[in-house]
Structure 1
């Protein structure tokens, strides 16, 4: 999302697409305009690719997708993308995934163990997309080989609100054979919806005040576009007013600011990126004078926020509840 290579950006070229004949041989369908015979599984991904044939059983998924599908009962055999922190603990992005029951193909950007991928004999690879047709965490130089090994499916999350993103995965899980209407899932959804309403009520208590998304490192501060992140887009739709960066780069997600210019956007509230590797509030107050001068910091209105909140009900509910409670203290 930012431009540093370790966290990676929402920016880059589109993945090369294989020839139509190759795609058909790998389990894609050509659009013939008719349904023909019924299929055990049929799905059109967000690139417009039609998949069909036998329902996939051996699925490899990028961590964001794997965590979302896990809640609905889909159990990938392999994952790729951040699942463990440097200290060995589970990355929050992995959410409910049982890491002892899946094979990891890579934990950082640019790391995708193709030989291990093939050894898993995958029926389908699933990844999210933040840019047109780019499968997140599939290295561009390996994309063609990955496409030939098994069909791929892309879930576009660019500019999608959290409820809509979760619903995308619910629909996909159903197509993959999951029962997405169990009492547990329906209760989790209802709890999430109540949390959304409670957050909207909390947002009314700060009417007239502004919030700013911030990510911070030693190299500088980043001001985020609230419409670009599913969790903040939901909060904006619920009534929280955000200051939007005037010159966002990097795929229209972040505007980079030097520490000397940290005061460019002076909001009443800051939602601070709490992902591993980013500076947190106490570190910033101790070492960055321009941070201490910000109105939200002086008022004590800096609250932790995860730009990559996993797309499952429990994680989304927890963040809404926590931030809603924080707004009521402003």
Structure 2
């Protein structure tokens, strides 16, 4: 199992690790934001300057040995950067790659931990990191950095946090494009242009499929043995993109689990009316026959009409990965209309 907590089961929740105190920053090569002259690019082996989402300014020799949370690693990988280490969910229980790693070649990187709360600090030091990169869903909290190790990790090498909470998928990709450029990547290289062009073609087809849905209402769902969760579209980069393309997503009245989900008992699974259900397809959530074992699931109109589609809320910020998801959802939507 990837996770033992509600936090990592659904991925976008509160309680993530806090970073070290400001007093630590001077020893890690940071400068105060007021000293910043902006971000910059350059060639590999040169210098860099970058201001992360926390307002921390990093400059000096450009980092070469990067360790990244898997979602960040996947995003940077598409722009040609190759982290030496990763942490966070990278392999499924059967050993196959987790969708969250995108195109990262798992045979060429060192995994420091595959589940929530797992970070091999000794292995991290052994990688001689110049920089750690992670996404953030809450202010000043690096995703999958264990709270009890945060100070240690912060002192070992500078860290960059990229805030992706409540941003659309394309805005998230743009943030990683900026970081990759600062790290010396050629963000307009032919493979990047090809990935973007392919995504744009898929996105256009997706928008057409959404248009054909008309006024049909879509519900975002994540299911466990204990609860039936209804998602808030704005909290998920992919779902926010869906709404930007015209999809009507039912909004929960309140979010009881962080700012992302309303937790309902299975008895109340029918609280919201919907014509289509996008259900959380990550391995730790209920799927297929498991869902069919709940009578209230079978009673939902969308389920009875066969209008359920798998959706991974944690798809990485990558044209290729998100395009693949959009292509799958587009095919399913087309079959519904």
- Compute the RMSD of aligned alpha carbons: 2.0
Q: TM-score, normalised by structure 2?
A: 0.92
What whole-Å deviation, never above 9, does each CA across 1:54-83 have from its counterpart, x for those lacking one? 000111100110011111111111111011
1:200-249 Cα distance to aligned partner (Å, 9 max, x none): 11111111110000111211211111111000100011000010111212
Equivalent position of 2:43 in the other structure: none
Within the candidate set 155, 170, 173, 1:148 is matched to 155
Pick from 171, 177, 180 the counterpart of residue 164 of structure 1: 171
Identify the residue that residue 263 of structure 2 maps to in structure 1.
Answer: 256
Structure 1 distance, partners of 2:132, 2:117, is 17
Matched ranges for 1:77-156 at <5 A: 77-156=84-163
Aligned partner of residue 85 in structure 1, secondary structure: coil
- Aligned residue for 1:327, secondary structure, equals helix
Give the drift of 1:24. 2.4
What is the correspondence of 1:7-26 to structure 2 with a 5 Å cutoff? 7=9, 9-12=12-15, 15-20=18-23, 22-26=24-28
Contact 2:257 2:263 in 1 (8 A): no
Shift of 1:27: 1.4
Q: Does 1:293 align with 2:299?
A: yes
Deviation at 1:49, TM superposition (A): 0.4
Runs of 4+ that moved beyond 3 A: 31-36
Residues in 1 aligned to 2:114 and 2:228: alpha-carbon distance in whole angstroms: 25
Larger displacement relative to structure 2 (178-187 or 123-132): 178-187
- Give structure 1 stretches of 5+ with no counterpart: none
DSSP-derived class of the 1:199 partner: helix
Q: Note if contact 1:24-1:30 (Cα within 8 Å) is conserved in structure 2.
A: no
- Between stretches 196-205 and 293-302, larger displacement belongs to 196-205
Confirm or deny: 8 A CA contact 2:12 2:137 kept in the other structure: no
Question: Which of 193, 214, 219 is residue 186 of structure 1 equivalent to?
Answer: 193
Q: Give 1:25 deviation, angstroms.
A: 2.3
- Residues 15 and 89 from structure 1, CA distance in 2 versus in 1: closer, same or farther, beyond 3 angstroms? same
Gap runs ≥5 in structure 2: 41-45
Q: Which of 64, 74, 83 is residue 76 of structure 1 equivalent to?
A: 83
Secondary structure at the counterpart of residue 15 of structure 1: coil
How many correspondences in the alignment? Answer: 327
Quote the offset at 1:40 in angstroms.
1.0
Does 1:209 pair with 2:216?
Answer: yes
